[in-house]
Amino acid sequence: MAAGPAQALTATGGVEQRPRHVAIIMDGNGRWATERGWPRLVGHRRGAERVKQIVRACPDLGVNWLTIYAFSTENWKRSTEEVLGLMKIFRRYIEREAEGMSAEGVRMRFIGGRERLDPKLRALMSSIEARTAGNTRLNLTVAINYGGRDELTRAAGRLAQKIARGELAEAGEDDLAGCLDTAGQPDPDLVIRTSGETRTSNFLPWQAAYAEYEFTPTMWPDFTPEHLGTILERFGMRERRFGGA
């Protein structure tokens, strides 16, 4: 079951809603670089540095869970050079940041199909998941080779196997949610997409069914903790009724 947003008293004594779980579609890295006459991979490297800043800012902003969309199942359609460069950036980022994140109390997990990823990258992912499993200051989930439809298809397969084994007589929403990559994690309260695009791009379709959305024109390499703080403040002014009157 999804946990609700955190609450804090405002200066006037009212209750301000703060999202406990924020999910971000980190868009615009390639365009940011192209606009400056640089190779697209320069933008992706700058975007990876931005991730580090946002991760460090989240706990102080009241965010306990952060999910970021790093590489989608559709991103394989990009040029071989860009895909290989992105995978190299992911691997270096994980290697370089693992110890620092662990020391800062960040638990890191990955969602998405892993079979297509390089074995060395998969090993690094498993290693950091194990090393940070006991951390509680921030839960960081990175979506790599992730697509919402792919996740739902894989989850339906797992659910069918449970029914075939006689573990379930019939399946409900909670049973399917328990077969998702995000099983046991709270649903996002807020989904942010940078760069001005207003699509959800197959990101967390099940989990974000009742999330608030914010689309910002800011490119991801320019998206600062101050930008995030402003969006969180706007979230606090929204009335969330979840279908109620």
| 52 within a domain of the structure (yes/no) | yes
Residue 5 pLDDT exceeds 80: no
| 32 within a domain of the structure (yes/no) | yes
| 154 within a domain of the structure (yes/no) | no
The predicted structure's pLDDT at residue 120: 93
């069914």: which residue's tokens?
209
Q: Are 192 and 24 contacting, i.e. CB atoms less than 8 angstroms apart? A: yes
Annotation marks residue 118 as catalytic = no
pLDDT digits (tens, 9 = 90+) for 84-138: 999 999 999 888 888 888 899 999 999 999 999 999 999 999 999 999 999 999 9
- Annotated catalytic residue within 60, 64, 75, 150: 75
pTM of the prediction?
0.91
| 98 within a domain of the structure (yes/no) | yes
As a whole number, mean pLDDT of residues 43-67 equals 96
The predicted structure's pLDDT at residue 9: 39
Annotation marks residue 145 as catalytic = no
Domain extent, residue 133, equals: 17-147+187-234
201 is in an annotated binding site: yes
pLDDT digits (tens, 9 = 90+) for 147-200: 999 999 999 999 999 999 999 988 999 999 999 999 999 999 999 999 999 999
Q: How many domains does the chain have?
A: 1
Q: Are 144 and 71 contacting, i.e. CB atoms less than 8 angstroms apart? A: yes
Q: Indicate if the alpha-carbon torsion angle 99, 59, 24, 73 is positive or negative.
A: positive
The predicted structure's pLDDT at residue 6: 55
The predicted structure's pLDDT at residue 4: 56
| 90 within a domain of the structure (yes/no) | yes
What Å distances lie between residue 95 and 74, 99, 113, 123, CA to CA?
25, 8, 20, 11
| 152 within a domain of the structure (yes/no) | no
27 is in an annotated binding site: yes
The predicted structure's pLDDT at residue 12: 37
Closest among 64, 33, 55 to 46, alpha carbons compared: 33
The predicted structure's pLDDT at residue 14: 44
pLDDT digits (tens, 9 = 90+) for 200-236: 999 999 999 999 999 999 999 999 999 999 999 999 8
Residue 240 pLDDT exceeds 80: no
- Annotated catalytic residue within 27, 181, 187, 189: 27
| 91 within a domain of the structure (yes/no) | yes
Query: Where residue 75 sits, what CATH number does that domain have?
Result: 3.40.1180.10
34 is in an annotated binding site: no
76 is in an annotated binding site: yes
| 162 within a domain of the structure (yes/no) | no
35 is in an annotated binding site: no
| Per-residue confidence band for 13, with pLDDT thresholds at 50, 70 and 90 | very low
pLDDT digits (tens, 9 = 90+) for 14-39: 446 889 999 999 999 999 999 999 99
The predicted structure's pLDDT at residue 239: 72
The predicted structure's pLDDT at residue 8: 46
DSSP string covering 7-74, please? EEE-TTS-EEEE-SEEEEE---HHHHHHHTT--HHHHHHHHHHHHHHHHHHTGGGT--EEEEEEEEGG
Give the residue with greater pLDDT, 245 vs 90: 90
Q: Are 59 and 138 contacting, i.e. CB atoms less than 8 angstroms apart? A: yes
